[in-house]
């Protein structure tokens, strides 16, 4: 945000151009009173300046306008912890550390607005070593170092414990002295401690100490009377490492040193009255009060050396020059003399100082305590005193012509001035001493517009040719007062008068072509009183008059008038060729050639003359001074009386500002002119640091309750307020230390205020009874140096009272609806009661009819249940019918075996009888064995037939719903064969390929076997029907195939029935599991098979039954059962 980076580069430019100006200004309270004695000054990371005010027992936060005071309050444990705040340190985290004499150490948290206290506790060896804390710093590791009257302490903020470093006479690596008055961390992170008490006149104890973190020891640097490279005094009071790496040490007496930290040697810079420009502290005025109080480096790399007895020295390391600011200095170079400078010089003492980021030096005097801020880059606009200067012309870098009381030619290099004045009786002298305008033509002639006509100067002869009004000559000058003269790009010379209109000089004859206003002709000149002339890049001539702006068309001599009725006092063609027009009542306008009109710049000012600089900023001379306007950003910057610039007088004659080739701007005044180069003006920040700092809640129950609106990093914090906290004030800070009284701040509570409102840099904004809702508090402030606006905002929400919250309104709505419902219910009951009374007889009659209808419904319901049972039984019988042929086929095989083996056995019995008669018992035994084997086979096939019959019975009877472990592979194989042979029994010509792919590792699954059997039979029968129908179509090469497979998966067990029939059309796939849905011809199916199968699998067994099909390719049904 700060443009600090160019300060060092800028400094040389200031010296070579405009001289650098320094202004001293006393810092007063908002009430105009001086502060007390400030013992320390600090700048926090948010840009605020902090002071420790010992007499008033407080610390102060300052933003350039407002001061916030922090005092000790015995009733508030979170307030400042003591009455003697001696030293301040603002750390990189945003906290402020306060060294308190007689109390200890405090830390202030700006976000919570509370102080944390660190105190000495005799019973706690890890507490603060002593309550007299003189100085405090925080190192780059976050450790806090506190210099006390009894040694140096290091605080670990994470643990709150202190490590003590004390002087030990028997240890040369200990601290050299226990009174630690100053601390410093250099660029390498080394901690330096300056010890010794400067007001102990009976002891020279002290020394400079460098801390060695590896060993926890110190390296001492002490005064040695025999060593001129040692310290002059042991009482070290100031330490500084500058931006060049020089290490400075200040002590008591004439003790300014630079130290070589590698060798430990010091170079003494003592005061020599014979060489006052040599580097040193100021001359010692009081031996008892003669120590260096501070060493600081300003933004230009110059060193400030403060003393308690003789003011301040400022050392320029580039020019090796010392400037003294004190009573012995009458007027140091560059200092702007004022009452504040006199007060600073008379004090002749300096106690503490700070070089802030904005390039301001803050110094507190000691003898007569007053706080001063020193602006090193004061933008001074000195007026060059002489008579009124109305116009300028730069003939060369060193030759400047001025239109004043006479025509002046000034040689800037030599200072020689040639003044051309009227000499009565000499017609070759200038015709009048009142010169309004001056220019030079292509022929080298100087033209002067005067109150007594137009004058042409031949510089070689010094003689003038006069052009004056002649009543007898209509082609002579029509009016004596000539306001302006212009040579255009065609080398024509145009002359404006204040009553005779516009003139074009005919050089050959010395006569004029005159253009005047004709009230009857709208294409004539706007008015005869001409003030300014300008030519645009297209060759158009523009004429500013007392009643508007005219543009001359050179081709036909006609005029077009703009802004009629307004006084046009100044015309400007900027660096882009754009035309600007200014007038007191008019304001500032710019011509837009695209629309052929002038557009208002929107600047709220009364302009008189305008000029542009090398960066195309527009400079406007108005009633209060100079206004710098940036057309790109639309921003303005005022340079008024605070910078020594006066505005124009309303009744004064016109002046014509001028820009020299080097960029210097010249503005004429009644008593001289201002001359400055805008490129050499200094600015601090592009925009002000702007914060909404705190919100204080008003009201009896909330009085004094405040909330911080910025965190430690300066970021805005959102705020939520309760319903009874809707009256509040918001404080804000626009940090700008160069404009303590002239800040422009505007604010708006978006959603509440009607628009932007003018704010005060000193007073908070008050709001009362703000309605519930979400708001944005917006701020904007103008920087006093750049003119740019900065903006900031805070999100703020006021909660509604409980009775106006969303849940309350929800409750109200519910109660209202409940009331409506109760009203409706009451009305309904009332109507029903009345209707009941009227319809009682009708209801009694209808009751009989309803009873009859109910009895009919019961009969119908009974018939429906019977029909449903019959349908289900029919489906079972249908499936049983499908089994019959297959079962007959399956039983026929074992019956054939039984018959065959019975016949053979009968024959064997006859043979055995014959052999018994023959008493061939060996043969009898053989026949008996054969007979036994036949009987075993008969028994086996009989059992097989019994199993088939048992299975048929199980399939036909109703299921009891009992699950039992079942071999699904075996079950699937049986029903595959039964379904196939059942269809073959009906159609002997049908043949199909039966394939099985059983998972042999499949465990037995608990199912209801007869139910799962029905499902398998249904799916297999449908599959065989599907391939049979496709086979009937006679497709070449078609082989009807039905496949049954089983598989164990993570989800359970899958049984898949796949066929290569015609498939199921897509439009009916979703319907096939619906009851009574069938694709078979009427009478050939109930439509319950798949529906019952689906219920058995999903509801009876908690499984899934899915179908996949492609028309023309076949179908696959998948049964998924859980293990």
* Sheet with 247-251, side-by-side order of all strands: 236-241, 247-251, 256-260, 265-268
What HEC string does 265-299 produce?
Answer: EEEECCCCCCCCCCCCCCCCCCCCCCEEEEEEECC
As a whole number, mean pLDDT of residues 516-528 equals 95
* The pLDDT value given to residue 943: 67
* The pLDDT value given to residue 747: 92
> What CATH number does the domain containing 430 carry?
2.130.10.10
Query: Of 138-147, 173-182, 677-686, which gets the smallest average pLDDT?
Result: 677-686
In a domain, 710, yes or no: yes
Residue in the block written with tokens 């005025």: 285
Task: Answer yes or no: do 432 and 551 share one domain.
Answer: yes
Per-residue pLDDT reduced to its tens digit, 217-252: 999 999 999 999 999 999 999 999 999 999 999 999
What is the C-alpha to C-alpha distance for residues 904 and 910, in angstroms, rounded to an integer? Answer: 10
Task: Answer yes or no: do 568 and 450 share one domain.
Answer: yes
In a domain, 975, yes or no: yes
CA distances from 382 to 411, 656, 968, 1044 (A): 20, 19, 113, 111
CA distances from 1052 to 437, 1103, 1104 (A): 109, 9, 11
Residue in the block written with tokens 């004043």: 404
Task: Answer yes or no: do 925 and 989 share one domain.
Answer: no
What is the C-alpha to C-alpha distance for residues 158 and 759, in angstroms, rounded to an integer? Answer: 42
Task: List, in order, residues 6 or more apart from 233 with CB less than 8 Å away.
Answer: 196, 204, 206, 223, 251, 252, 253, 255, 291
Task: List, in order, residues 6 or more apart from 910 with CB less than 8 Å away.
Answer: none
As a whole number, mean pLDDT of residues 378-398 equals 87
> Angle at which helices 806-917 and 1009-1032 pack, to 10 degrees?
80
Number of neighbours of residue 904 by Cβ within 10 angstroms: 15
Task: Answer yes or no: do 420 and 391 share one domain.
Answer: yes
What HEC string does 597-632 produce?
Answer: EEEECCCCCCEEEEEECCCCCEEEEECCCEEEEECC
Task: List, in order, residues 6 or more apart from 929 with CB less than 8 Å away.
Answer: none
Strand partners, 113: none
What is the C-alpha to C-alpha distance for residues 607 and 581, in angstroms, rounded to an integer? Answer: 10
Domain count, the chain: 4
Task: Answer yes or no: do 421 and 502 share one domain.
Answer: yes
Q: What are phi and psi of 10, to 5 degrees?
A: -65, -30
Query: Of 516-520, 679-683, 1108-1112, which gets the smallest average pLDDT?
Result: 679-683
Q: What are phi and psi of 202, to 5 degrees?
A: -100, 0
List the alpha helices (DSSP H) in 670-729.
none
Task: Answer yes or no: do 537 and 467 share one domain.
Answer: yes
As a whole number, mean pLDDT of residues 547-551 equals 97
Q: For the CA atoms of 777, 782, 786, 787, what is the dihedral angle to 10 degrees?
A: 120
CA nearest to 501, candidates 521, 461, 531? 531
CA nearest to 292, candidates 329, 261, 232, 252? 252
Residue in the block written with tokens 């705040």: 85
Task: Answer yes or no: do 479 and 507 share one domain.
Answer: yes
As a whole number, mean pLDDT of residues 619-635 equals 88
C-alpha torsion sign, points 630, 634, 635, 639: positive
- Choosing from 751, 772, 802, the residue where a domain stops is 802
Query: Of 144-148, 757-761, 845-849, 877-881, which gets the smallest average pLDDT?
Result: 877-881
* The pLDDT value given to residue 682: 62
C-alpha torsion sign, points 156, 162, 166, 172: negative
Query: Of 665-669, 957-961, 1072-1076, which gets the smallest average pLDDT?
Result: 957-961
As a whole number, mean pLDDT of residues 656-677 equals 92
- Give the tokens for residue 527: 């008015």
Task: Give the SS3 label for residue 702.
Answer: coil
Task: Answer yes or no: do 767 and 847 share one domain.
Answer: no
List the alpha helices (DSSP H) in 122-279.
none
Task: Answer yes or no: do 814 and 793 share one domain.
Answer: no
C-alpha torsion sign, points 174, 176, 177, 183: negative
In a domain, 1089, yes or no: yes
What is the C-alpha to C-alpha distance for residues 2 and 688, in angstroms, rounded to an integer? Answer: 9
- DSSP string for 176-215: S-S-EEEEEE-TT--EEEEE--TT-TT----EEEEEETTT
CA distances from 192 to 37, 129, 145, 184 (A): 27, 19, 10, 5
Half-sphere exposure of residue 957, counting CA atoms within 13 Å on the CB side? 10
Strands (E), 63-206: 67-71, 85-90, 96-100, 104-109, 114-118, 133-138, 144-148, 151-156, 161-165, 180-185, 191-195
As a whole number, mean pLDDT of residues 518-534 equals 96
CA distances from 1017 to 833, 1004, 1029, 1067 (A): 62, 19, 18, 25
As a whole number, mean pLDDT of residues 984-992 equals 84
Rounded to two decimals, what is the model's pTM? 0.60
pLDDT band at residue 874 under the 50/70/90 scheme: low
- Choosing from 680, 705, 730, the residue where a domain stops is 680
> What CATH number does the domain containing 748 carry?
2.60.40.10
Task: Answer yes or no: do 672 and 660 share one domain.
Answer: yes
As a whole number, mean pLDDT of residues 853-865 equals 57
Query: Of 154-163, 296-305, 739-748, which gets the smallest average pLDDT?
Result: 739-748
Q: What are phi and psi of 894, to 5 degrees?
A: -65, -30
DSSP 1067: G
* The pLDDT value given to residue 704: 52
Strands 719-721 and 789-798: parallel
> Bigger pLDDT: 589 or 379?
589
Helix (H), strand (E) at residue 165: strand 161-165
What is the C-alpha to C-alpha distance for residues 979 and 994, in angstroms, rounded to an integer? Answer: 11
Q: What are phi and psi of 782, to 5 degrees?
A: -100, 130
pLDDT band at residue 791 under the 50/70/90 scheme: confident
In a domain, 861, yes or no: yes
- Choosing from 956, 986, 1013, the residue where a domain stops is 956
In a domain, 892, yes or no: yes
What is the C-alpha to C-alpha distance for residues 939 and 257, in angstroms, rounded to an integer? Answer: 129
* The pLDDT value given to residue 892: 61
* The pLDDT value given to residue 444: 96
As a whole number, mean pLDDT of residues 617-636 equals 88
Strands 236-241 and 247-251: antiparallel
Per-residue pLDDT reduced to its tens digit, 58-97: 999 998 888 999 999 999 999 999 999 999 999 999 999 9
Range of the domain at 876: 806-956
In a domain, 325, yes or no: no
Decide if pLDDT at 277 tops 90: no
Q: What are phi and psi of 777, to 5 degrees?
A: -90, 115
Task: Answer yes or no: do 741 and 647 share one domain.
Answer: no
Number of residues that this document lists for the chain: 1123
Rg for the chain (alpha carbons), in Å?
Answer: 56
Task: Answer yes or no: do 986 and 1074 share one domain.
Answer: yes
- Give the tokens for residue 354: 């700070």
C-alpha torsion sign, points 1093, 1095, 1101, 1104: positive
Number of neighbours of residue 1068 by Cβ within 10 angstroms: 12
Per-residue pLDDT reduced to its tens digit, 916-945: 888 777 877 777 787 777 777 777 767 666
As a whole number, mean pLDDT of residues 1085-1101 equals 82
Buried b (16+ CB within 10 A) or exposed e, 557-580: eebebbbeebbbbbbbbbeeebbb
Q: What are phi and psi of 960, to 5 degrees?
A: -90, 0
> What CATH number does the domain containing 1100 carry?
3.30.565.10
In a domain, 392, yes or no: yes
- Give the tokens for residue 721: 């307020």
* The pLDDT value given to residue 178: 97
Percent of the chain at pLDDT exceeding 90: 54
In a domain, 460, yes or no: yes
Strand partners, 485: 495
What is the C-alpha to C-alpha distance for residues 635 and 603, in angstroms, rounded to an integer? Answer: 9
- Give the tokens for residue 191: 């901690």
What is the C-alpha to C-alpha distance for residues 863 and 869, in angstroms, rounded to an integer? Answer: 10
Mean pLDDT of the chain: 86
Q: What are phi and psi of 401, to 5 degrees?
A: -95, 140
Per-residue pLDDT reduced to its tens digit, 1023-1066: 999 999 899 888 888 999 999 999 999 888 999 999 999 998 88
What is the C-alpha to C-alpha distance for residues 451 and 449, in angstroms, rounded to an integer? Answer: 7
> Bigger pLDDT: 6 or 138?
138
As a whole number, mean pLDDT of residues 28-51 equals 92
């Amino acid at each position: 945000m700060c443009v600090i980076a160019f300060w060092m580069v800028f400094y040389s430019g200031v010296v070579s151009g405009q001289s650098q100006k320094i202004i001293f200004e006393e810092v007063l309270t908002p009430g105009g009173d001086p502060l007390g004695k400030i013992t320390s000054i600090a700048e926090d990371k948010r840009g605020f300046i902090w002071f420790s005010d010992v007499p008033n027992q407080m610390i102060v936060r300052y933003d350039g306008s407002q001061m916030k005071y922090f005092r000790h309050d015995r009733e508030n444990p979170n307030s400042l912890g003591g009455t003697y705040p001696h030293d301040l340190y603002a750390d990189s985290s945003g906290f402020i550390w306060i060294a308190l004499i007689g109390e200890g150490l405090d830390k202030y948290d700006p976000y919570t607005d509370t102080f944390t206290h660190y105190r000495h506790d005799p019973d706690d060896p890890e507490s603060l070593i002593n309550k007299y804390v003189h100085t405090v710093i925080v190192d780059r590791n976050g450790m806090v170092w506190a210099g006390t009257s009894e040694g140096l302490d290091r605080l670990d903020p994470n643990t709150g414990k202190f490590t003590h470093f004390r002087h030990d006479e028997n240890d040369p690596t200990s601290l050299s002295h226990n009174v630690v008055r100053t601390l410093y961390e250099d660029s390498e992170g080394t901690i330096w401690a300056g010890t010794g008490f400067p007001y102990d006149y009976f002891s020279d104890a002290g020394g400079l100490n460098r801390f060695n973190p590896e060993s926890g020891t110190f390296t001492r640097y002490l005064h040695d009377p025999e060593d001129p490279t040692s310290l002059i005094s042991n009482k070290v009071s100031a330490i500084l490492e500058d931006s060049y790496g020089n290490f400075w040490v200040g002590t008591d007496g004439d003790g300014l040193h630079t130290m070589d930290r590698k060798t430990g040697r010091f170079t003494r810079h003592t005061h020599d009255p014979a060489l006052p420009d040599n580097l040193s502290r100021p001359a010692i005025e009081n031996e008892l009060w003669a120590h260096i109080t501070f060493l600081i480096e300003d933004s230009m790399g110059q060193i400030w050396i403060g003393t308690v007895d003789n003011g301040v020295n400022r050392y320029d390391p580039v020019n090796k020059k010392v400037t003294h600011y004190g009573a012995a200095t009458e007027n140091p170079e560059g200092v702007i003399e004022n009452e504040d400078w006199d007060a600073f010089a008379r004090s002749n003492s300096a106690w503490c100082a700070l070089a802030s980021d904005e390039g301001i030096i803050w110094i507190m005097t000691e003898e007569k305590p007053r706080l001063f801020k020193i602006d090193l880059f004061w933008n001074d606009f000195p007026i060059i005193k002489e008579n009124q200067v109305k116009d300028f012309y730069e003939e060369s870098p060193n030759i400047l012509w001025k239109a004043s009381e006479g025509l002046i030619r000034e040689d800037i290099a030599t200072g020689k001035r040639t003044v051309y004045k009227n000499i009565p009786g000499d017609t070759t002298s200038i015709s009048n001493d009142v010169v309004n305008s001056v220019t030079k033509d292509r022929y080298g002639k100087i033209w002067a517009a005067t109150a007594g006509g137009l004058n042409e100067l031949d510089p070689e002869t010094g003689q003038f040719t006069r052009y004056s009004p002649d009543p007898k000559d209509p082609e002579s000058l029509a009016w004596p007062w000539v306001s302006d003269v212009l040579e255009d790009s065609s080398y024509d010379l145009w002359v404006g008068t204040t009553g005779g209109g516009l003139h074009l000089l005919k050089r050959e004859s010395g006569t004029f072509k005159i253009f005047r206003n004709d009230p009857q002709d709208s294409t004539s000149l706007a008015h005869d009183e001409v003030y300014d002339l300008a030519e645009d890049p297209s060759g158009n001539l523009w004429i500013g008059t007392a009643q508007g702006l005219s543009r001359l068309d050179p081709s036909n001599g006609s005029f077009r008038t703009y802004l009629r009725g307004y006084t046009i006092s100044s015309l400007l063609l900027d660096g882009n060729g754009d035309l600007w027009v200014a007038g007191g009542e008019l304001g500032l306008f710019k011509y837009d050639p695209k629309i052929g009109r002038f557009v208002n710049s929107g600047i709220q000012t009364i302009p008189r003359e305008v000029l542009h600089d090398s960066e195309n900023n527009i400079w406007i001379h108005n009633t209060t001074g100079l206004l710098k306007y940036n057309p790109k950003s639309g921003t303005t910057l005022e340079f008024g009386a605070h910078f020594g610039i006066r505005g124009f007088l309303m009744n004064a004659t016109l002046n014509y500002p001028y820009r020299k080739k080097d960029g210097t701007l010249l503005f004429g005044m009644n008593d001289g002119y201002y001359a400055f180069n805008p490129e050499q003006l200094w600015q601090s920040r592009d925009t002000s640091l702007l914060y909404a700092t705190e919100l204080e809640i008003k009201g009896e129950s909330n009085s004094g309750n405040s909330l911080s609106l910025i965190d430690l990093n300066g970021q805005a914090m959102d705020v939520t307020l309760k319903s009874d906290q809707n009256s509040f004030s918001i404080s804000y800070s626009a940090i700008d230390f160069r404009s303590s009284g002239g800040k422009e701040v505007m604010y708006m509570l978006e959603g509440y205020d009607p628009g932007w409102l003018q704010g005060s840099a000193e007073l908070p904004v008050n709001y009362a009874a703000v309605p519930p809702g979400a708001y944005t508090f917006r701020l904007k402030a103008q920087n006093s140096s750049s003119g740019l606006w900065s903006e900031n905002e805070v999100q703020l929400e006021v909660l509604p009272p409980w009775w106006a919250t969303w849940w309350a309104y929800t409750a109200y709505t519910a109660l209202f609806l409940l009331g409506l419902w109760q009203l409706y219910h009451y009305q309904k009951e009332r109507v029903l009661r009345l209707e009941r009374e009227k319809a009682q007889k009708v209801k009694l009659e209808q009751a009989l009819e309803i009873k009859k209808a109910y009895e009919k419904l019961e009969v119908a319901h009974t018939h429906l249940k019977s029909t449903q049972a019959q349908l289900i039984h029919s489906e079972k019988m249908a499936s049983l019918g499908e089994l019959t042929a297959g079962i007959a086929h399956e039983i026929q095989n074992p019956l054939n075996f039984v018959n065959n083996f019975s016949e053979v056995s009968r024959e064997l019995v006859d043979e055995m009888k014959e052999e018994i008669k023959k008493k061939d018992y060996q043969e009898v035994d053989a026949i008996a064995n054969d007979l036994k084997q036949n009987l075993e086979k008969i028994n086996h096939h009989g059992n097989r037939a019994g199993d088939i019959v048992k299975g048929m019975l199980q399939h036909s009877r109703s299921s009891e719903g009992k699950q039992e472990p079942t071999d699904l592979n075996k079950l699937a194989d049986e029903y595959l064969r039964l379904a196939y042979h059942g269809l073959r029994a009906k159609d002997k010509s049908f043949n199909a390929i039966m394939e099985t792919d059983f998972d042999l590792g499949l465990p037995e699954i608990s199912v209801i076997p007869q139910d799962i059997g029905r499902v398998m039979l249904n799916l297999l029968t449908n599959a065989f029907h599907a391939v049979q129908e496709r086979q009937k179509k006679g497709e070449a090469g078609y082989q009807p195939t039905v496949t049954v497979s089983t598989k164990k998966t993570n989800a359970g067990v899958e049984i898949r029935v796949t066929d290569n029939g015609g498939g199921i059309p897509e439009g009916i796939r979703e319907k096939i599991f619906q009851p009574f849905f069938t694709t078979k011809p009427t009478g050939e199916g109930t439509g319950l098979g798949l529906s019952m199968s689906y219920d058995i699998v999903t509801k009876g067994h908690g499984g899934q039954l899915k179908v996949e099909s492609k028309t023309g390719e076949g179908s696959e049904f998948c049964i998924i059962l859980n293990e």
